[in-house]
Amino acid sequence: MDGWTVDDGLPLDHVIDLVQGHDGDIWIATVDGIVRFETGPGGVFRGAFVGPWAHGLPTDVQRFLHTPGKHAVRGQLERAWSEVAARARYDGYRGPLGVDGMIARVDGELVIVPVVEANPRWTMGRIAWLLRKRLSGRARGWWRFHPVRGLGDTPERWMAAQRAAHPLRFDGGRLVAGVLPTNDPATATQLLTVLDLSRPGSA
């Protein structure tokens, strides 16, 4: 039996499920990573934090995230995600699967809700996680989705002003600070997506 790791093309070394399909393909489920994201009214996706996902969270939330033992957040998430992956496989689904969870306050206590929804597709969280992997380890900020109608200017002029105020800086060839569009401002009609590493602590 061969061992497979990230060096062999796995997205992460921690495998939570493995199955061989009737056609001989091997399907591997991994916990790719955790991404912190922000939503607006009605749960509309507004952006994702890029950097260590717990950075900048309140102290009590960070303590909660690092609670050891059988109630550890990471363990709860992995168990829940394994169940979701098993159910998807049982239902015949093969492909990318994003699972959204959340931390909530219930009667003043923090609780983990490991599965809010499962998305059988590539998700914004996955894209943000991949984007984060390409930045300097010191990079902190947000990947934001700005409605074009709220910019107060054309996307091109707004972006030019942002880039002038927050020029790009690199650390060992990787982006560590500045503002960078992730879609073309010249063709943006609904949303302008921006990697904003200018205000690392702001939400």
Instruction: Return d(Cα 35, Cα 97) in angstroms, integer.
Output: 14
* Residue 155 clears pLDDT 80, i.e. is over it: yes
What is the per-residue pLDDT for 107? Answer: 92
pTM above 0.85, yes or no: no
DSSP secondary structure string, 17-42?
EEEE-TTS-EEEEE------EEE-GG
Instruction: Return d(Cα 135, Cα 173) in angstroms, integer.
Output: 9
Q: H or E element: which one contains 181?
A: strand 179-181
pLDDT digits (tens, 9 = 90+) for 87-138: 988 999 888 888 888 888 889 888 888 888 888 888 887 788 888 888 998 8
Find out whether 113 and 101 touch, Cβ atoms under 8 Å.
yes
pLDDT band at 176 (very low <50, low <70, confident <90, very high): very high
